[in-house]
Amino acid sequence: MEFVVFLIAGAIVVGGAIGVLAFANPVHAALSLVATLFGVAVLFVAQNAQFLAAVQVIVYAGAIVVLFLFVIMLLGVDRSDDLRVEPIVGQRPLALLAGVGVLAASLVAVLSAGGSTATRTVRSTAVAIPTEEPDVTSLGRLLFTDHVLALEITAILLTVAVVGAVVLARRPGRDEPSVEADVEAEA
């Protein structure tokens, strides 16, 4: 049963990924990306990680790709760009090289760690989360105990990103020093 689910979801994931690369129209490519994200969410559910699946759909499919599409729609770049033009010289060979490298690295990782079926079953039972506790609870506990530093740093990073986005997006209207002017106006 799990194997069948894996096959179908895996096919969707790979198909979507190929679609992202193959479609000339950016909107179609973004939709393929949604399919991939969905496939991954299904795989999460099959692994009993419902929380991750839900977050995957809410954050990636429901927010990030929506923003991609939003930008595509607003900028009107939906008429497929000319793919023969190479914006940065040497980008494509380097990208190919990097892609092959990543693929090789992950293959090595899977093959060396995968081993025989016996070791795999042993590992999966050893790592198995106690099923009485919902995965949200265990995730939350881990995040706020063992990994609290990483969590806080991520939070700061996100805050910095938001502030940076606001600063960059602000239209430089009149000559800059606005805060001081406001203080003077107040006084």
Partner 1 sequence: MGDPLYAGGIGLTVVLVTLLKVLVTFVLLLVATMFMVWFERKIVADMQHRIGPNRAGPWGLLQTLADGTKLFFKEDLLPDRADRIVFRLAPVLAVVPAFLAFAIVPIGGNFAEGGTVSMFGRETFLQLADPPVGVLFFLAMSGIGVYGVMLAGWSSGSKYPLLGGVRATAQIVSYEAALGLSLASVILVNGTLSTHQIVAEQAGAGFGGIIPNWNLVVTGVVPAIIFLIAGTAELNRPPFDLVEAEQELVGGFNTEYSSIRFALFFLAEFMNTVTMSALVVTLFLGGPSGPVWGPEPVRTWFFPIFWFLLKLVVFLFVFVWFRGTLPRLRYDQLMDLGWKALIPLALGWFLLLGAVRVARNEGWNLVVTFGAITVVVVVAVTLLNLSLRAAQRQRLADAEVNA
> What 8-state DSSP symbol labels residue 56?
I
Q: Tokens in use for 93?
A: 């060979």
> Which residues ranging from 84 to 123 are in contact with partner 1 (CB under 8 A)?
none
Contact between 155 and partner 1 per CB under 8 A: no
Q: Which residue number, 86 or 133, has a Cβ lying nearer to partner 1?
A: 133
Closest CA to 8 of 32, 43, 34, 37: 43
> Which residues ranging from 21 to 80 are in contact with partner 1 (CB under 8 A)?
25, 27-28, 31, 34, 50-51, 53-55, 57-58, 61-63, 66-67, 69-70, 73-74, 78
Q: Which residue number, 100 or 151, has a Cβ lying nearer to partner 1?
A: 151
Binding mask 127-146 for partner 1 (x = CB under 8 A): -----x-xxx----------
Any idea which residue has 């060396």 for tokens? 112
Residue 41 sits at the vertex; the CA angle it makes with 1 and 142, to the nearest 5 degrees, is: 105
Closest CA to 43 of 23, 14, 13: 13
Q: Which residue number, 118 or 166, has a Cβ lying nearer to partner 1?
A: 166
CA dihedral (136, 141, 142, 148) positive or negative: positive
Residue 34's CB is within 10 A of a number of other CB atoms, namely 21
Chain residues in the site for partner 1 (CB under 8 A): 25, 27-28, 31, 34, 50-51, 53-55, 57-58, 61-63, 66-67, 69-70, 73-74, 78, 132, 134-136, 171, 173-174, 178-179, 182, 185
